[in-house]
Amino acid sequence: MKNRNIVNLIAGTALVLGAGLASAAPFDKKEELQGISFHVTSPNKAAGNAVRIVPAGLQIDNSPIEMDITGIVTGAEVADINADRSPEIYIYVLEPGPEKLMSLVAFSANKKKSLSAINLPALSETKGADKGYCGNDDMAPVEGTFLRRFPICDKNKQPTGKTRQLQYKLKPGEAGWQLKLDKRMEY
Q: What average pLDDT does the segment 29-47 reach?
A: 96
Instruction: Give pTM, 2 decimals.
Output: 0.87
Per-residue pLDDT reduced to its tens digit, 74-115: 999 999 999 999 999 999 999 988 888 999 999 999 999 999
Identify whether the C-beta of residue 145 lies closer than 8 Å to the C-beta of residue 76.
Answer: no
Phi/psi for 177 (5° steps) reads: -120, 150
Of residues 57 and 11, the one with the higher pLDDT is 57
Q: What angle do CA 100, 105, 108 make, to 5 degrees?
A: 150
Q: Is the pLDDT of residue 148 over 50?
A: yes
52-85: per-residue pLDDT in tens? Answer: 999 999 999 999 999 999 999 999 999 999 999 9
Residues contacting residue 84 through CB under 8 Å, at least 6 positions apart: 111
Report the C-alpha gap between 28 and 143 in whole angstroms: 25
Assign 3-class secondary structure to the chain.
Answer: CCHHHCCCHHHCCCCEECCEECCCCCEEEEEEECCEEEEEEECCCCCCEEEEEEEECCCCCCCCEEEEECCEEEEEEEECCCCCCCCEEEEEEECCCCCCCEEEEEEEEECCCEEEEEECCCHHHCCCCCCCECCCCEEEEECCEEEEEEEEECCCCCEEEEEEEEEEEEEECCCCEEEEEEEEEEC
Measured CA to CA, the distance from residue 180 to residue 145 in angstroms comes to 10
Range 30-44 average pLDDT: 97
* Confidence bin at 22 (pLDDT 50/70/90): low
